Amino acid sequence: MKTKFRPLSDEEIAKLTARGCSCDDWSKVEVAERFNTAAVKSTHFSGEIKLGVFEKQLSFFGGITRPAGISNATIHNCTIGDNVYINHVRDCIANYHIEDEVVIENVDLLATDGESSFGNGTEVAVINEAGGREIPIYDHLSAQVAYIIALYRHRPKVVEKLKKMIADYTVSVVSSMGFVAKAARITNCRVVKNVRVGPGSVIEAVDRLENGSVNSCPEDPVYIGPAVSAEDFIVCSGSKITDAAVISRCFIGQGCVVARQFSAENSVFFANCECLHGEACSIFAGPYTVTHHKSTLLIAGIFSFFNAGSGSNQSNHLYKLGPVHQGVLERGSKTASDSYMLWPAKVGAFSVVVGKHYGRPDTGDFPFSYLTERNGETVLAPGTNLRKTGLVRDERKWPRRDRRKDPKKLDLINFELLSPYTAQKLLKGQRLLTDHKAAGGGQTDFLNCPGARVENSAIANGIRVYQNAVDKFLGDCLVERLEKLAESAFKGRDELRSVLKPKTDMGTGKWVDLAGLFAPQEYVEKVLSDIENDSIRSLEQITDALQSAYNNYADYRWAWAARTLEQQMGKGINDITVDDIIELVKKWKAAGERLASWNLADAQKEYTGAMRTGYGINGDEQTKDADFGVVRGRFETNSFVCEIKESTDQSVGRAERLISRLEDLR
């Protein structure tokens, strides 16, 4: 129910004055019906003022409770809701709507000066410092919309219309009044200017916040902590910024952590990014971009599901035309300690970069690879990362580390390592390797992989590992499809073929990764065309269209897998026999077992003699082994090793059950 306000009575004015309060014009002060003057003291009012009732006890850190009310403050042109606690405002609170149960204590300044969009519409120069890929940030920006704006500049009409929609939204939120939503807390802060604060936010001991929005929600509050300085920013629900972080012209998405003196400018960070100690400049940090080290610089690039090693660095200029170059590390990439890359460069999905790379390699067609440095050259080992345990750990940890609790999630995220997006790259990489081998290629540069060298010893391994991954992925799709069938579908071949027939042709072509969302390129192009021709006219409609791609991922994925199976088998789905399906399931089973054996062999290296160096200090070999065993445990009982073995056993059981059911149809 909307609060009804009334003028102060002469008696109330006298009581307030007796309690050390003053006002430029008491006639401009209105109060709620049950307003009690005893809750207000030592406060100066000016401008239009509305005050609620103060009748509750509020809880503070350490179990302390204090009565709601206002004291030791200067309040100008504000509406203050019920049961608010305001105390010790050294300068003033000016031009703010303050909702119920807010706490504001020991603050220098909380004010809105003139009209403000609270960070909305701020243009952030991502990926290229020199400009050309600016993203105008706004409250509901998703990784997918940001990706389109930044990277589809070859569709200028799309970008123009998206920017117009964001500009219209920005106009809708412009106000000369700031806002502090219900149950927010702003304590022990210096300067907070032109900032909109969402419900449940906790802002404490910050140095300066200016021109921004803190888009908290009760289910997932935002925390901004000691010594933070931020300007021209938007922070989304569930995020934490603290420990003297410095933020300028940035969007911080949902569930992010920015802390421990990290500094960032002209950058966007999407769901579950974690940035500590280091520095970011003009980056597009897609979901799960992680950097933890003081000496790490991320600059002028796009990343996602990324982990930066200590001392990772990039250079985006050659001392000619300035910082105009950019880099692309596709999803799941990692950089080792002290790695370096000279932009421009592109690294394929789920690859690892070791050493220093000056040749500006493009390894986009070779996912799951290792890039190492040898004699000043980039040496590419295709598929090596598929044999590594860490890759499996990454796939399993990302969903578990989703910190977002907001009922409305902005970013659409697919977590799979193997998908149509990566599988199409596996097939292309395998074809390039096979063609190169057939042509008798030795240690020569790939025409399709400039800036990198693939050695003879790596070619055959890459072909084999890529094929195994393709077999695993196609089998995953097929087995999931078969397992969803009712028993009746296994009573006839026609019914079986009918269920295997895709529901749609969408997805049979090329796929793209829109900063976390896998989608058929055909679908994305249709969305872009709909924007161009005004079939899509609002940000909400764009969100709905992208959500549809996310919701229909399974059907689109099967369409791609079915078409690829047809191509590989040389026959259509309607012509596939039961024996063909059994053979595919057997191939899937073998691929899964082979992949697990590679991962386990890699994990076992953590238990070799060399890994025991430094254990059993001051003792003999027996002491070393005993100490290592206590600290690290045994390979056979390691929880992750057991998880891989259990998962493999389950897959073997699934395959055998399916084969048994299929054999009945012969």
Cβ atoms of residues 299 and 286 within 8 Å: no
Is residue 144 over pLDDT 90?
yes
Res 444: pLDDT: 54
- Closest by CA position to 120, among listed 213, 252, 257: 213
CA distance 85 to 509: 59
**C-alpha torsion sign, points 181, 182, 184, 185:** positive
- The rounded distance, in Å, linking the Cα atoms of 184 and 189 is 14
Angle (CA) 299-301-307 rounded to 5° is: 85
Of 208, 207, 216, nearest in space to 255 by CA: 216
Q: If you average pLDDT over residues 320-324, what whole number do you get?
A: 85
The string of pLDDT tens digits covering residues 79-133 is 999 999 999 999 999 999 999 999 999 999 999 999 999 999 999 999 999 999 9
The runs of H, that is alpha helices, within 484-538 are: 493-500, 521-532
Band (448; pLDDT cuts 50, 70, 90):
low
Taking the C-alpha atoms of residue 223 and residue 71, their distance in angstroms, rounded to an integer, is 25
CA dist list (Å): 319 to 284, 322, 339, 376, 436: 23, 6, 21, 21, 36
What is the per-residue pLDDT across 185-196, written as a single tens digit (0 to 9) for each?
Answer: 999 999 999 999
Question: Three-state DSSP class for 8?
Answer: coil
Residue 362 β-bridge partners: 346
List pLDDT tens digits, range 571-585. 998 888 899 999 999
Per-domain boundaries in the chain: 1-106, 585-663
Q: How far apart are CA 214 and CA 236, in angstroms?
A: 6
In degrees, rounded to 5, the angle at the alpha carbon of residue 154 between the alpha carbons of residues 151 and 155 is 95
Long-range contacts of 314-317 (CB under 8 A, 24+ apart): 314/340, 314/341, 314/342, 314/343, 315/340, 315/341, 315/342, 315/343, 316/128, 316/129, 316/282, 316/343
What is the chain's mean pLDDT, rounded?
94
Q: Distance of alpha carbon 575 from its chain centroid, rounded? A: 43
What is the model's pTM?
0.96
Residue range 487-529, pLDDT digits in tens: 666 667 777 888 899 999 999 999 999 999 999 999 999 999 9
With residue 579 as reference, give the H or E element that holds it: helix 578-604
Determine the Cα–Cα distance for residues 357 and 359; give it in Å rounded to an integer. Answer: 6
Q: How far apart are the C-alpha atoms of 571 and 497, rounded to whole Å?
A: 13
**Is residue 485 scored above 80 in pLDDT?**
no
